Amino acid sequence: MGDADQATLAAGNGKARIDFQTAPARYRHWKLTIDGDIATLLLDVDEKGAMFGGYELKLNSYDLGVDIELADALERLRFEHPQVRALVLRSAKPRVFCAGANIRMLAGASHAHKVNFCKFTNETRNGIEDLSAHSGLKSICAINGTAAGGGYELALATDYIILVDDGTAAVSLPELPLLAVLPGTGGLTRVSDKRKVRRDHADVFCTTEEGVKGKRAVEWRLVDTAVPGSKFDETVAARAKAFAAQSHRGGEGPGVALTPLQRTFAADGVEYGAVSVEFQRAARIATVTLRGPVVPPPASAEAMLALGAEFWPLQLARELDDAILNIRLNELEVAAIVFKSSGDPDRVLAYDRFLDAHKDRWLAREIRHLWKRVLKRVDLTSRSLVTLIDQGSCFAGSLAELPFASDRSYMLAPTRPSPASGGGLGWGHDNKPPATLALDDVNFGAYPMANGLNRLACRFLADPADLDAAKAERGKMLDAERAQQLGLVTFALDDIDWDDEVRVFLEERASFSPDALTGLEANLRFAGPETMESKIFARLTAWQNWIFQRPNAIGDEGALKRYGTGQKPVFDTRRV
């Protein structure tokens, strides 16, 4: 079944499934062009191309479908165009860059969709910053007119903002005066933390509908430069060339085509090449099983490049990312995601060591950065996360990050004498290998969380000696007892207790308030320091989640519902 057919299948909530897979030939809103080492992403939103009915995407406003294309284009720049050293974002429409998130879409969307939409757009903008910081691909936003709300947020994600100074072009975050909602968490945070705009200037900026223009926008640090229309294109081109000349990026050889994922949707699950997702809808559980590699790593970096999107670490990361996004947006009744794995842990470690050995090659580096972003997506998913490490599992190296990303982890320990082992300890009712957990160098820095720490460092904040003890066990196949001694798993259970303990935990989790669980998990997952990235998502979880449910914004007389009707909103004026 092709992607186009699969996209028409109903999701678990009975509605049309939102599909996160696309390709440049199918874009309706963006045009990606490559000219040597400079790429241009041209925003030309199709007004009639809304993801849902009831609104038009006027003035380059966007919905989730627009951002899905942007996220896809960024991934293709990473993998298909390693020669690109600078990126320009600009508009194809005259006198407008982007009017931000479509207001009619926000007014009509469910609360869950609004919040998940905001989360995905922020993850995509973080991806632009990740491209700059770690892949050497600097970006420029060329604002030829209005950049409002989410449109200015998109600009803020780039390294350099050029505003045309024509007396009308302006940047703005007008959500508060117009819609009674929080100016996008990513926008506010980047204004204060990234661009370091003064608090009083930011207060004026965020409460002024018309925004800030020209010279003042530069003086207030809202943009980097403002130039007259006659010099606009020349200035954009010069800055792009300068960024390209300074970049350390430049992959040798051709890129890797991100071929369509092979997926089969069914009523109770999704089957990929290396990932399976099973839905137990009555129990509100999604079980995600990751399959380890069936063959050893290739013999050389050239062979890795030849495998392309079928290279196991790249394939698995793309499939896991798609599976998580599908659960987030299409399976809203799911209370818990259970991670399982199957395969040879030694072979998983061999692939990690292969990537380490070829870390000077662009493809190996980009695969590691992709895994980092996918694991962050897991961290930020508002579901209870649990990992079950049982017989035949391969949670080793990169895959061991999933137990550390989970809210809890359970590991199967040996129990009774087994005839198959000649009287030794048994591992259940079949002859699968015993449950093990294995660490390697990759677990100690390659995959930082939003707070800047790796998951084990975050886990062992209380005593760095615990982190050192875990590091000393790299490369060993740890059994349940040793893993629990080291603090790597929550519980080690024998097979007598295994089924009941896991069942009780999952039933309990499904019985709790989803709202309370979201607050609990968001507070517990990111201990330690705060970064701009962790602030963005903490504020999204708390403030945006709350404000989007308040009648001042979404009530029948609220600002979102009355916007454009000529009627003023009616506010409950009590501060809470």
What's the CATH number where 30 sits? 3.90.226.10
Stated length of the chain? 576
pLDDT recorded at residue 6: 40
> How many structural domains is the chain composed of?
2
How many beta carbons lie within 10 A of that of residue 530, not counting itself? 13
What's the rounded Cα separation, in Å, for the pair 313 and 297?
10
Residue 574 included in any domain: no
The crossing angle, in degrees rounded to 10, of helices 111-135 and 532-539 is 170
Q: Please tell me whether residues 317 and 452 are part of one structural domain.
A: yes
For residue 413, what are the domain limits?
264-521
Q: Within a domain: residue 536?
A: no
Which one of 246, 279, 314 terminates a domain?
246
Q: Does residue 396 belong to any structural domain of this protein? A: yes
**pLDDT at residue 15 in the model:** 75
In a domain, 255, yes or no: no
Same domain flag for 128 and 218 = yes
Q: Are 376 and 460 members of one domain? A: yes
The verdict on 211 and 325 lying in the same domain is no
In a domain, 210, yes or no: yes
Domain boundary (246, 276, 303) is at 246
Which of 521, 538, 567 is the last residue in one of the domains? 521
Q: Is residue 549 part of a domain?
A: no
Please indicate, yes or no, whether residues 59 and 144 belong to a single structural domain of this protein.
yes
How far from 217 is each of 164, 168, 204, CA to CA, in Å? Answer: 11, 12, 12
- Residues 373-411: tens digit of each pLDDT: 999 999 999 999 999 999 999 999 999 999 999 999 999
Query: Are 349 and 459 members of one domain?
Result: yes
Q: What phi and psi values does residue 112 have, to the nearest 5 degrees?
A: -60, -40
Same domain, 170 and 116: yes
pTM of this prediction exceeds 0.85: yes
Q: Are residues 401 and 480 in the same domain?
A: yes
Contacts of residues 155-159 at CB distance under 8 Å and 24 or more positions apart, as own/partner, are 155/89, 155/97, 155/223, 156/125, 156/186, 156/187, 156/190, 156/191, 156/194, 156/195, 157/125, 157/126, 157/128, 157/129, 157/186, 157/190, 158/87, 158/89, 158/128, 159/132, 159/243
Asked, for residue 60, whether it belongs to a domain, the answer is: yes
Residues in the chain predicted with pLDDT less than 50, given as ranges, are 1-8, 416-427
Question: Residue 337: inside a domain, yes or no?
Answer: yes
pLDDT of residue 409: 98
Whole-number CA gyration radius for the chain? 25
Same domain, 425 and 331: yes
Q: Which two tokens stand for residue 214?
A: 């020209």
Same domain, 269 and 240: no
How many CB atoms within 10 Å of residue 488?
Answer: 27
Query: Is 222 found in the same domain as 74?
Result: yes
Bridge partner residues of 141 (DSSP): 89, 161
Q: Do 139 and 279 reside in the same domain of the chain?
A: no
Contacts of residue 506, defined as CB under 8 A and 6 or more positions apart, other chains included, come to 283, 285, 336, 338, 386
Contacts of 118 (CB under 8 A, 6+ apart): 184, 185, 540, 544
